[in-house]
Amino acid sequence: MTEETDTQGYLDMDLLRFTTAGSVDDGKSTLIGRLLYDSKNLFEDQLEAVEESSRQRGDENVNLALLTDGLKAEREQGITIDVAYRYFATPKRKFIIADTPGHIQYTRNMVTGASTANLAIILVDARHGVIEQTCRHAFIADLLRIRHVVVAVNKMDLVDHSEEAFDKIVSQFKEFASRLDNIVDMTFIPISALNGDNVVDPSENMPWYEGTTLLYHLETVYIGSDQNHVEARFPVQWVIRPHSEKYHDFRGYGGRVAGGVFKPGDAITVQPSGFTSKIKSIESMDGPLEEAYAPLSTTITLEDEIDISRGDMIVKANNPPHKGQEIEAMICWFSDSKNLVGRSKFILRHTTKEVKAVVQEVRYKININTLHKVEDDLEFKLNDIGRIKLRTSGPLFYDSYKKNRVTGSFILIDEQSNETVAAGMIL
Amino acid sequence: MNSYRVTHLKQLESEAIYILRETAAQFEKPGLLFSGGKDSIVMAHLARKAFWPARLPFPLLHVDTGHNFPETIEFRDRYVKEINADLTVALVQDSIDQGKAIEEKGIHASRNKLQTVTLLDAIEDCGFDACLGGGRRDEEKARAKERFFSHRDDFGQWDPKNQRPELWNIFNGRKHHGEHFRIFPLSNWTEMDVWQYLKLEDIELPNLYFAHDREVVRRSGTLLAVSDVVQPQADETTETLQVRFRTIGDMTCTGAVESDADTIDKVIQEVATARQTERGTRSDDKRSETAMEDRKREGYF
């Protein structure tokens, strides 16, 4: 943040959510610390606290990892337990970083962090090149449909800032990524997080690099087309009936637009009833609106009085979602106390709807290091990813996850423990 | 540029409204923690937007330590009346009188920690199964690991190592009898976002947030307002300075900062160039490196 900030400018920023992925010792924490520090988003008392902790622990340098590792156990063991969210802003954008740790619950955490991200930074150690873990990170980013990936080749200082070393990693990564199809935009940046080369300021050590710095890229990458503005979807969250004198007959449907654009006058269908009507108005406390689109929370009223409740979905009449009780999906298994096998039963939560679900078939698991299908061991344990077929107790109205991240995703909940045990992406 | 651009504030607002509506839908009896501070004012404002033109479908709950600034209490009562909401006030003094909480001693005594007892009792008395709070992940390092839907066991405790993963915008509020949830719709907001939103929405605040002259005493590097509960010790002197408060908690532990920011634009400028976090003025967080985590585990906000 610069001194000459004007307050109007702040009201006109947009938001980029990204994850950072890297193996242990790839310098991920150092990179985040560098981004915050060089963009002047670190506070003095935060830095002092980290310096003090580093000294107490006997660390030689200021340990920037302590900025993100907030819990007592993490500091004691020098590990990151959970997804940590960090925030920073430049005059152009606000950023939310989901920092995911690289150890045992790794896949679970990265999937969680990736589910809301527009962009993933994958760190590669310039000395080691593309390794198994790099491929795993790229695979998860692709599975969760992150459109924008930045491959940050770190520790360039340790390979003499060599262009050849960088080029080799670029081609290694591209070769692997040719097997992935959701990533539409790949950017490669040679950096040194430790020294700050190409993170916020351009590097003087790598004149051969003609691209932008990491921060500039984060500030300018175009994410406007990431939302689905075609298929109109409005899962009803809450029915608003004031029963007051002034709004005696008011019946509004509260929800967050999951896709497309809704306008007064639009012909709509309500799922599952199939009733049709027209949008009468789009309401807000500040007055009626001309339109509502993803991802805005809003309130819709209809011309006709029809019975609609939470879990129903308002869609454009000419563009319905899929409807069915048999769902093919990729899932990631999150539980370390229970495993998933055929015939397992769960509660399935999809948009604002909850149904029961039973696993009809386990198709395969994926070895996420080789991307090979595993068909001989079909029991899902913590971090396992694979494809299953579910049957639900009632119909779901859904799109493929590829088309819509909101109407194409679900979670599975264990009925006994109430824990969230899996994340699912509908095929 | 396409016309469907959504600014960061609009995204944060939509996310918070979505979570407020999920809370109303997934729980039997939620309550909204309201202190009269800026974050809880933003929360109440968002809740009004979420359910407009209906009234808030849940009551407000204030855990009052008895050490609040009189300006805060005056604002609270006026605001609650204005938005036509129900307010329950739970008094820490009652917990002390009932022998459930013991007052700290010495000049650094604060009722901050005692609030947990009163809060947990109030949650039980009111029968709340979910409490909406204005906590933000940028406030403190333990809060950075907090979920939107944060599960509490039947003792009200938080287990940070065993939290439910939260993906997309699907929130799992299922619980066993006796357990409850703390819900934080402002998780992704920063101090700056809150101020920008207050400006954008033209929301009124207690005047403590803006620069004014006040008699203060300097104690352990913190400027405390002189009041019934903060009196200068023999070796301390008071001075009158132009100050404002970045957070509003108890008079015993909320430090003022010297400032001439008497309008919201000036405050935003000040926040933009601040070199200390907003809780840097809170002595309750400085008691140990993990002070916040320790309090949260026990059931603090």
Per-residue pLDDT of A261-296, as tens digits, reads: 999 999 999 999 999 999 999 999 999 999 999 999
- Sorted by sequence, the CB contacts under 8 Å of residue A262 that are 6+ apart come out as A232, A234, A268, A279, A282, A291, A292, A293, A298, A300, A314, A316
> ipTM of this predicted complex?
0.91
> Is residue A201 within 8 Å of residue A157, measured between CB atoms?
no
Determine, for residues B5 and A70 on separate chains, whether the beta-carbon distance falls below 8 Å.
no
| Residue among A11, A250, A310 whose CB faces B9 most closely | A11
* CATH code reported for the domain at B8-195+289-298: 3.40.50.620
Our CA-based measurement puts residue A97 at a distance from the nearest CA of chain B, in whole angstroms, of 10
Predicted confidence (pLDDT) at residue A2 exceeds the cutoff of 50:
no
Per-residue exposure over B207-242, b if at least 16 CB sit within 10 Å of its own CB, e if not: ebbbbbebebbebeebbbbbeebbebeeeeeeeebe
Candidate CATH numbers 1.10.3720.10, 1.10.357.10, 3.40.50.300, 2.60.40.1120; the one for domain A7-220: 3.40.50.300
CA–CA gap between residue A82 and residue A167 (Å, rounded): 34
Mutant choice from A5, A10, A293 vs B, greatest count of B C-beta within 10 A: A10
Measured between CB atoms, does B100 come within 8 Å of chain A? no
- Closest among A86, A92, A90 to A19, alpha carbons compared: A86
**pLDDT for the residue numbered A149:** 96
> Is residue A419 within 8 Å of residue B166, measured between CB atoms?
no
Tell me how many helices (H) and strands (E) chain A has. 9, 21
Distances (CA, A) of B272 to A237, A272, A288, B290: 36, 49, 34, 27
Q: Where are the domains of chain B?
A: 8-195+289-298, 204-284
Sequence letter at residue B149? F
Q: Peptide bond before A101: cis, by omega within 30 degrees of 0?
A: no
Q: What share of chain A is helix, strand, coil (3-state, %, to 5)?
A: 20, 35, 45
Q: What is the mean pLDDT of residues A313-317?
A: 94
**pLDDT for the residue numbered B298:** 65
- Closest among B292, B278, B53 to B158, alpha carbons compared: B292
Determine, for residues A347 and B269 on separate chains, whether the beta-carbon distance falls below 8 Å.
no
Determine, for residues A89 and B192 on separate chains, whether the beta-carbon distance falls below 8 Å.
yes
> Is residue A288 within 8 Å of residue A281, measured between CB atoms?
yes
Determine, for residues A418 and B276 on separate chains, whether the beta-carbon distance falls below 8 Å.
no
- Take residue A124 and report the two structure tokens written for it: 């590669």
From chain B, the residues in CB contact with A85 under 8 A are: 137, 144, 187-188
Average pLDDT, chain A: 88
**pLDDT for the residue numbered B275:** 63
CA–CA gap between residue A205 and residue A168 (Å, rounded): 18
Q: Where are the domains of chain A?
A: 7-220, 233-316, 322-426
Other Cβ atoms within 10 Å of A188 Cβ, number: 19
- Which position has the token pair 């990736």? A114
CA–CA gap between residue A173 and residue A179 (Å, rounded): 11
pLDDT tier at B140, thresholds 50, 70, 90 = confident
CA–CA gap between residue A240 and residue A43 (Å, rounded): 43
Residues, chain A: 427
Region of A117 on the Ramachandran plot (φ > 0 left; ψ -120 to 50 alpha; else beta): beta
CA–CA gap between residue B13 and residue B185 (Å, rounded): 9
pLDDT tens digits, one per residue of A138-160:
999 999 999 999 999 999 999 99
| Residue among A1, A81, A406 whose CB faces B273 most closely | A1
**pLDDT for the residue numbered B278:** 66
Q: What is the mean pLDDT of residues B106-128?
A: 82
CA–CA gap between residue B284 and residue B254 (Å, rounded): 8
**pLDDT for the residue numbered A3:** 38
Our CA-based measurement puts residue B93 at a distance from the nearest CA of chain A, in whole angstroms, of 32
pLDDT tens digits, one per residue of B213-250:
999 998 888 888 888 888 888 888 889 999 999 888 88
pLDDT tier at B270, thresholds 50, 70, 90 = confident
CA–CA gap between residue A415 and residue A410 (Å, rounded): 15
pLDDT tens digits, one per residue of B150-173:
998 888 788 877 788 999 999 999
The domains spanning A7-220 and A233-316 adopt the same CATH topology = no
Q: Where are the beta strands (DSSP E) in A289-352?
A: 292-293, 297-302, 313-316, 322-333, 345-350
Please give the CATH superfamily to which domain A322-426 belongs.
Answer: Translation factors (2.40.30.10)
CA–CA gap between residue B170 and residue A170 (Å, rounded): 36
Candidate CATH numbers 2.70.210.12, 1.10.357.10, 2.40.30.10, 1.10.220.10; the one for domain A233-316: 2.40.30.10
Sequence letter at residue B282? R
